[in-house]
Amino acid sequence: MEGIDHLADERNKAEFDVEDMKIVWAGSRHAFEVSDRIARLVASDPVFEKSNRARLSRKELFKSTLRKCAHAFKRIIELRLNEEEAGRLRHFIDQPAYVDLHWGMFVPAIKGQGTEEQQKKWLSLANKMQIIGCYAQTELGHGSNVQGLETTATFDPKTDEFVIHTPTQTASKWWPGGLGKVSTHAVVYARLITNGKDYGIHGFIVQLRSLEDHSPLPNITVGDIGTKMGNGAYNSMDNGFLMFDHVRIPRDQMLMRLSKVTREGEYVPSDVPKQLVYGTMVYVRQTIVADASNALSRAVCIATRYSAVRRQFGAHNGGIETQVIDYKTQQNRLFPLLASAYAFRFVGEWLKWLYTDVTERLAASDFATLPEAHACTAGLKSLTTTATADGIEECRKLCGGHGYLWCSGLPELFAVYVPACTYEGDNVVLQLQVARFLMKTVAQLGSGKVPVGTTAYMGRAAHLLQCRSGVQKAEDWLNPDAVLEAFEARALRMAVTCAKNLSKFENQEQGFQELLADLVEAAIAHCQLIVVSKFIAKLEQDIGGKGVKKQLNNLCYIYALYLLHKHLGDFLSTNCITPKQASLANDQLRSLYTQVRPNAVALVDAFNYTDHYLNSVLGRYDGNVYPKLFEEAWKDPLNDSVVPDGYHEYLRPVLKQQLRTARL
């Protein structure tokens, strides 16, 4: 059966040009060509083989990760890959590693918070990987509460140095990726103390290990925090702990682009918002949103192909059974996830634009859009990672029993992905940041300050607080204005209700704490509106290719109407729609599922994933699932011998009742 495309019939049904959709998914023809070339390069290189990593011990896995990283670096140099190509190479190698933190956080922290001089010195070393860095912020006792970090950096004017110290056990750095066994340096976040005064959290570059023999420098205790969830999975990463015992660093290793300490020990505050010290987190949250569509689309690709291969029930007179993808229940679970993958792709593109825009404004000392950028990156990071983690797990269930096998690719994908709901900010804590932003915006309504950007809809409060949806028939739910109005009215009404309830409290902070759960729901409603509106905006762009726009249109309204159905309580209780309109939305949703069905396999083909990247027997391009499941089973170490190890010691005595005889 090798060489046969078991999904050929599915592919022949497609009503659009997959090659054109590949370009839309990638973002541009150039991006597609780079991704395609690099994905094939990785897939064809035996060093990047990953099919056996669940069977490796932690030490073997870690060593093989070091090998892959070193080989990748060698290939980047040999092939003279540029930054974009090198990034794609790391992406397709698909193994969490210290390099993610080096390139993803250490380098951006220095770029964002270092002076020009500091950038020149440290980036030239980091870019050549002559030093390897990590981002050491979280402590054993404090993660979400950054202001509560305990590590101190006390200026000593006698020697012109900072003394970095871990005063308590809870002050130990705990979690930074790459710290445990690899990093030679770290950007350490600590409380800056000078002239006896605490000036809060600042970043410092600290060398941790010798560049000669890799041993920890004096007065530094460092190690790995231990095995994490799942076989293989995130265990290729050396998340670490770190303690300092009065470690001295030169004054110029404080990242001083924002605020400074002079030779005399005077603290010179920043003339820009102090929150810019959190800038690296804003940057990374934006990249995490872009990455959500990768992880979700991967799971959806596996579940969609397998749902087309898998057949259950429905056979008459010995005929073939029904493909499980034809069951409406399967479609109702799968197609919204397919639509979400596309939705997150486009909101990720938009967020990248927003981030670039705010960065340019900050460079020109325009800080006006910083709060919105913070709210959008925090809220969308939270929304997309929660939906993606849940979506991967749903895809596992969509694949029935075989989804639970490691070789389906889904258990490992879930275990690698699910911490995204926690790192770079716990998802609830982040939505509360959005809620604070919304409460401020609502409070300013009527003050003459016109809300802009993603809160512009709040400026139409007079209409949105009293409007009723005009939907009269199912097709009306394909009208972008009808959909947007319903989502805007729901988001605004939920925010305004929270604000009204808050105003009943004398102490606003106490009220905020009391209403936390409602505030999170209001924030989620606002973020869902952003995703829906950016998908609709994408449809307004000039999108070419046979049938492509039609498919995107279907997916956009599946995304929106599925959310409407899922959060029906919100829409009904805020009187944005009637039960009859909700029912019409469901009718429309079912009709959209029918339209997507013949295109489903082609829509996941458009992700252009290689079998190497998917690493899934169920998601194979050719759909040749069953023989490959057997092949994988035979490879399992338990099948190395017919009679298992331990038979003579522990099985035979039971079977022969020798244990019972001995006791009697």
Ligand X SMILES: CC/C=C\C/C=C\C/C=C\C/C=C\C=C\C(=O)SCCNC(=O)CCNC(=O)[C@H](O)C(C)(C)COP(=O)(O)OP(=O)(O)OC[C@H]1O[C@@H](n2cnc3c(N)ncnc32)[C@H](O)[C@@H]1OP(=O)(O)O
Cα distance between residue 349 and residue 530, in whole Å: 13
What letter represents residue 645's amino acid? D
Cα distance between residue 522 and residue 498, in whole Å: 8
Instruction: Choose the stretch contacting ligand X; rule: CB under 6 A; options: 21-29, 366-374, 399-407, 496-504.
Output: 366-374
Instruction: Choose the stretch contacting ligand FAD; rule: CB under 6 A; options: 30-38, 86-94, 134-142, 259-267.
Output: 134-142
Site track for ligand FAD across 243-272, x = CB under 6 A: ------------------------------
Number of residues binding to ligand X, judged by CB under 6 A: 28
For residue 71, how far is the Cα from the chain centroid?
A: 26
Q: In Å, how far are 205, 299, 573, 628 from 618, measured between CA atoms?
A: 46, 10, 42, 9
DSSP symbol at 218 = T
Cα distance between residue 227 and residue 409, in whole Å: 20
Q: Cβ 239 to ligand FAD, closest distance in Å?
A: 6
Q: How many helices and strands in the chain, by DSSP H and E?
A: 25, 13
Site track for ligand X across 283-312, x = CB under 6 A: -x--xx--x---------------------
Cα distance between residue 536 and residue 346, in whole Å: 10
Residue 144 interacting with ligand FAD (CB under 6 A): yes
Residue 101 interacting with ligand FAD (CB under 6 A): yes
Instruction: Choose the stretch contacting ligand FAD; rule: CB under 6 A; options: 216-224, 256-264, 350-358, 418-426.
Output: 418-426
The residues assigned a catalytic role are: 424
> Read out DSSP for 473-518?
SGGGGG-HHHHHHHHHHHHHHHHHHHHHHHHT-SSHHHHHHHTHHH
What kind and span of H or E run contains 108?
helix 107-113
Among candidate residues 498, 472, 508, 599, the one with its CA nearest the CA of residue 546: 599
Q: CA geometry: angle at 303 spanning 299 and 308, to 5°?
A: 150
Q: Which two tokens stand for residue 102?
A: 């080096």
For residue 433, how far is the Cα from the chain centroid?
A: 18
For residue 544, how far is the Cα from the chain centroid?
A: 29
Q: Which two tokens stand for residue 553?
A: 């249109």
Q: Which two tokens stand for residue 311?
A: 């057949």
3-state helix, strand, coil in the chain (%, to 5): 60, 10, 30
Identity of the residue, 101 or 606, whose beta carbon is nearer to ligand FAD in the bound complex: 101
Q: Which two tokens stand for residue 78?
A: 């040999």
Determine which residue in the list 239, 382, 533, 574 makes contact with ligand FAD, applying CB under 6 A: 239
Identity of the residue, 282 or 617, whose beta carbon is nearer to ligand X in the bound complex: 282
Instruction: Choose the stretch contacting ligand FAD; rule: CB under 6 A; options: 46-54, 417-425, 483-491, 530-538.
Output: 417-425
Contact 90, 99 (CB under 8 A): yes
Exposed, middle or buried, 58 (CB in 10 Å: 0-12/13-18/19+)?
Answer: middle
Residue 104 interacting with ligand FAD (CB under 6 A): no
Q: Which does 43 bind (CB under 5 to 8 A by kind): ligand X, ligand FAD, none?
A: none
Tokens 């011998």 map to which residue? 641
When CB distances to ligand FAD are compared, the closest residue is 143
Q: Cβ 428 to ligand FAD, closest distance in Å?
A: 4
Question: What sign results for the dihedral spanned by CA atoms 369, 512, 200, 140?
Answer: negative
Q: Cβ 631 to ligand X, closest distance in Å?
A: 29
Residues 177-236 that bind ligand X (CB under 6 A): 177
Q: Which does 317 bind (CB under 5 to 8 A by kind): ligand X, ligand FAD, none?
A: none
For residue 457, how far is the Cα from the chain centroid?
A: 27
Tokens 């994905």 map to which residue? 39
Q: Cβ 200 to ligand X, closest distance in Å?
A: 9
Q: Cβ 382 to ligand X, closest distance in Å?
A: 11
Residue 135 interacting with ligand FAD (CB under 6 A): yes
Q: Which does 608 bind (CB under 5 to 8 A by kind): ligand X, ligand FAD, none?
A: none
Contact 162, 154 (CB under 8 A): yes
Q: Which does 239 bind (CB under 5 to 8 A by kind): ligand FAD, ligand X, none?
A: ligand FAD
Q: Which does 385 bind (CB under 5 to 8 A by kind): ligand FAD, ligand X, none?
A: none
Residue 422 interacting with ligand FAD (CB under 6 A): yes
Contact 150, 142 (CB under 8 A): yes
Identity of the residue, 376 or 418, whose beta carbon is nearer to ligand FAD in the bound complex: 418
Residues 379-418 that bind ligand X (CB under 6 A): none
Q: Which does 130 bind (CB under 5 to 8 A by kind): ligand FAD, ligand X, none?
A: none
Q: Which does 564 bind (CB under 5 to 8 A by kind): ligand FAD, ligand X, none?
A: none
Q: Cβ 174 to ligand FAD, closest distance in Å?
A: 8
Residue 203 interacting with ligand FAD (CB under 6 A): no
Residues 163-192 that bind ligand FAD (CB under 6 A): 175-177
Residues 118-157 that bind ligand X (CB under 6 A): 135, 137-138, 144-147
Cα distance between residue 236 and residue 201, in whole Å: 30
Cα maximum dimension of the chain: 92
Residue 69 interacting with ligand X (CB under 6 A): no
Q: Cβ 143 to ligand FAD, closest distance in Å?
A: 2
Residue 275 interacting with ligand X (CB under 6 A): yes
Determine which residue in the list 35, 138, 528, 581 makes contact with ligand FAD, applying CB under 6 A: 138
Instruction: Choose the stretch contacting ligand X; rule: CB under 6 A; options: 317-325, 425-433, 464-472, 597-605.
Output: 425-433
What letter represents residue 177's amino acid? G
Exposed, middle or buried, 244 (CB in 10 Å: 0-12/13-18/19+)?
Answer: buried
Identity of the residue, 225 or 543, whose beta carbon is nearer to ligand FAD in the bound complex: 225
Determine which residue in the list 54, 66, 125, 429 makes contact with ligand X, applying CB under 6 A: 429
Instruction: Choose the stretch contacting ligand FAD; rule: CB under 6 A; options: 106-114, 131-139, 250-258, 630-638.
Output: 131-139
Q: Which does 234 bind (CB under 5 to 8 A by kind): ligand FAD, ligand X, none?
A: ligand FAD
Residue 283 interacting with ligand FAD (CB under 6 A): no
For 375, residues 6+ apart whose C-beta sits below 8 A from its C-beta are 433, 434, 437, 438, 454
Contact 556, 596 (CB under 8 A): no
Instruction: Choose the stretch contacting ligand X; rule: CB under 6 A; options: 273-281, 467-475, 543-551, 593-601.
Output: 273-281
Residues 509-568 that bind ligand FAD (CB under 6 A): 516
For residue 582, how far is the Cα from the chain centroid?
A: 31
Among candidate residues 417, 343, 414, 410, the one with its CA nearest the CA of residue 380: 343
> Read out DSSP for 269-295?
--SS-GGGGGHHHHHHHHHHHHHHHHH
Total residue count of the chain as it appears in this document: 664
Instruction: Choose the stretch contacting ligand X; rule: CB under 6 A; options: 4-12, 278-286, 327-335, 350-358.
Output: 278-286
Contacts with ligand FAD, residue ranges (CB under 6 A): 101, 135-138, 143-144, 175-177, 234, 239, 419, 422-426, 428-429, 432, 516
Tell me which residues touch ligand X (CB under 6 A).
100-101, 104, 135, 137-138, 144-147, 177, 275, 278, 281-282, 284, 287-288, 291, 370-371, 374, 423-425, 429, 433, 436
